[in-house]
Structure 1
Amino acid sequence: MRTKANSELIGFVFLGACFLLFSFHKEIKLSESFFSDSLLTFNVIFISILLEALPFVLLGVMIAGMIQIFVSEEQISRLIPRNKFLAIIMSCLIGALFPACECGIVPIVRRLVGKGMPLFAGVGFLLTGPLINPIVIFSTYMAFGEDLKMALLRMGIGLVIAIVITAFISVLFKKNQLKLSKDSFHTEAQIHVKQPLVIRLRSMVEHGIDEFFDMGKFLIIGAFLAAFVQTFISTRSILDLGDGLIGSTIVMMGLAYLLSLCSEADAFIAASFEHLFSKTSLLGFLIYGPMLDLKNTMMLMSVFKLRFVIILTILITGTVLAVLLLIHPLI
């Protein structure tokens, strides 16, 4: 209990310090040698990543809290079709309806899987939620000069890749891969079933707060690493590594992973490279980033067992690259 309280206190202090530094850095009288331009740039990028991601994480943890208190295991089991193929398709399509980024979707998936949703269905939800929801598709359409083709390619190819990865997961993993046991999700939900609505709403908020601090520290670590990469590693040097179709696609996928952009905004960055790379390479950036990036890898490692995260990373990377190279002549 004391450890948890200490973790929450550290989280509050860290977030508060970052906010104060960002808000009042002009008023803080320090010599120029204390804060180099690079350090100031790092500070701005780090805070901007946090500010961009936090609203979606907050939305995600509150939905997760609602699932924990108001959704029973029986309701989850009725939601998923018994036919595995239909379950794979349905999980990917339902995920597309949620306007969540890759950070906000992680706590939701943890609760769903913990409440009894099959792991592969949770993965389908995880992959498509940040990638092909309506907000992301519209932003892609606008970013590429109202080019509907890029938006449809991102949605269609992304959905196919998500279905393929989900199918692989359904074959490779038969057991729950959460770090927490399913019992820890079930017991508390059963306690709240017959309680008054006000008590259940309070419990939902409490669960959301606990989830936020549980996820938040890994979001901070991921944002820190992403800001470090963006500040101290030249984007130009990364882009220079791309030579040919395969090389340029791998480079754009790697760039998407390192930049850790929110999926609602990444299309505008991708569009700025339109004169340098083929559409296949740009799609690598647009599809891979929402499925897997630096900050959400940290969050996945906090939720799932390490072996599962490693295999999922390999599957996502290999499938995205293979599918894009396969259909390149058609793009």
Structure 2
Amino acid sequence: MPFTEPSQIGDLYFAFLAILFEGAPYILLGTIISGFIDAYLPSNVMDRFLPKNRYAAIALSGLLGAIFPVCECAIVPVIRRLVQKGLPVSCAITYMLSAPIVNPIVAVSTYSAFAGNDPLFMTLSRIGIAYLVTVIVGVVVHQFSIKNILRNSLLNKIQTDSQNIQSSAVLFNKEKETPDRLLIALRSAARDFLDVGMYFVIGVMITALYRTQINQGVVDQFASSDLIGIPAMMILSFVLSLCSTSDAFIAAQMLSFSSAAKLAFLTYGPMMDVKLVFMYSSVFKPRFVLSLAVGLFIVIGILFYQWSNIPVPGT
């Protein structure tokens, strides 16, 4: 609906700022990390730490969030830099999708949000199915060429970096090396912040428009069955673009929906939402982002529809 009252403009303004300030610090953190990865992490070092068997490497990548917990706002610049440094794309995407969910911070917040409603089962279900989904995606991505996945600008950067490995190995005086590398890290972080931040702001504006212009009570009309409720909750999570550390508190209050629908909300949103579509576009080709969004929607929907047959509180 168009703006009919001055207060609606104010609501949009405050909603935009609320989402922006919630996510911007994490993007800044992610870009700082990516800058230091660029300056201090040798090329191909990540690949050397992973198992030689690519499928085992993908499975391990899905668990890295337990050691390196990163929210969805911060993960994109980190992943872009790790791919440049030689991390296989299949492993990078697996980590990118799993880290916002398969991590101890989200486990604690989910458990707290569902206190009194079988919190352990809900927490383990969220983490377990999210891990399964990300490994499936990683295995599928492994079958495709990176030329069909990464943006041409990133492909060119990877090629340039690989050609310059020898020249980058020039020995520096130790006193000169530290400030030079620090400067490189800060410059890389600034570039990443501007690049990813632009896409983030576009996504935030779209999300703010939805939050202020759509009657939230309309959503309850889709809670009649899991066949409708699960996809409805995934669409809602896509549009609301909530942080994975706080979305469980929102889902727990949607009492008209089943546990399966709530968990679909908590799984799809951190992997794919409005702001992430634009942020992913800074790394991946638009066609791949669209395919990833649709593929995740189908796989998560099917898994949780089957999961809904398990008798748990709230279903």
Instruction: Give the alignment's TM-score, normalised by structure 1.
Output: 0.84
The yes-or-no answer on 1:97 pairing with 2:67 is yes
Aligned to 1:164: 136
* 1:148 alignment partner, one of 120, 129, 139: 120
Aligned to 1:183: 159
Aligned to 1:237: 218
Aligned to 1:219: 200
The yes-or-no answer on 1:299 pairing with 2:276 is no
Amino acid across the alignment from 1:158: A
Aligned in 2, Cα 1:78/1:321: closer, same or farther, shift over 3 Å? same
Aligned to 1:289: 269
What stretches of structure 1 of length at least 5 have no aligned partner?
1-32
* 1:326 alignment partner, one of 306, 312, 315: 306
Contact 2:45 2:86 in 1 (8 A): no
Contact 2:223 2:256 in 1 (8 A): no
* 2:186 alignment partner, one of 190, 199, 205: 205
Contact 2:45 2:85 in 1 (8 A): no
* Secondary structure, counterpart of 1:329 in structure 2: coil
* Secondary structure, counterpart of 1:302 in structure 2: coil
Deviation at 1:73, TM superposition (A): 2.0
* Secondary structure, counterpart of 1:104 in structure 2: helix
Aligned to 1:257: 238
Aligned to 2:92: 122
Deviation at 1:192, TM superposition (A): 7.4
Q: Deviations over 1:235-288 (max 9, x none)?
A: 222332344112100111011000001111101100111x21111000011111
Aligned in 2, Cα 1:218/1:184: closer, same or farther, shift over 3 Å? farther
Q: Distance in 2 between matches of 1:231 and 1:41?
A: 6
Contact 1:114 1:178 in 2 (8 A): no
Q: Distance in 1 between matches of 2:146 and 2:20?
A: 35
Q: Distance in 2 between matches of 1:252 and 1:184?
A: 43
Instruction: Give the alignment's TM-score, normalised by structure 2.
Output: 0.89
Aligned in 2, Cα 1:154/1:34: closer, same or farther, shift over 3 Å? closer
Amino acid across the alignment from 2:198: K
Identity %: 34
Comparing 295-304 with 240-249, greater Cα deviation is found at: 240-249
Deviation at 1:315, TM superposition (A): 1.5
Amino acid across the alignment from 2:307: I
The yes-or-no answer on 1:278 pairing with 2:258 is yes
Contact 1:38 1:231 in 2 (8 A): yes
Deviation at 1:187, TM superposition (A): 6.2
Q: Deviations over 1:108-133 (max 9, x none)?
A: 11111122211110111111111121
Amino acid across the alignment from 2:288: F
Q: Aligned Cα RMSD in Å?
A: 2.1
Aligned to 1:77: 47
Q: Deviations over 1:74-115 (max 9, x none)?
A: 312202222121011111111343332212101111111122
Aligned in 2, Cα 1:304/1:227: closer, same or farther, shift over 3 Å? same
Aligned in 2, Cα 1:320/1:185: closer, same or farther, shift over 3 Å? farther
Contact 2:61 2:94 in 1 (8 A): yes
Aligned in 2, Cα 1:35/1:233: closer, same or farther, shift over 3 Å? closer
* 2:11 alignment partner, one of 30, 41, 64: 41
* Secondary structure, counterpart of 2:51 in structure 1: coil
Query: How many residues are matched?
Result: 298
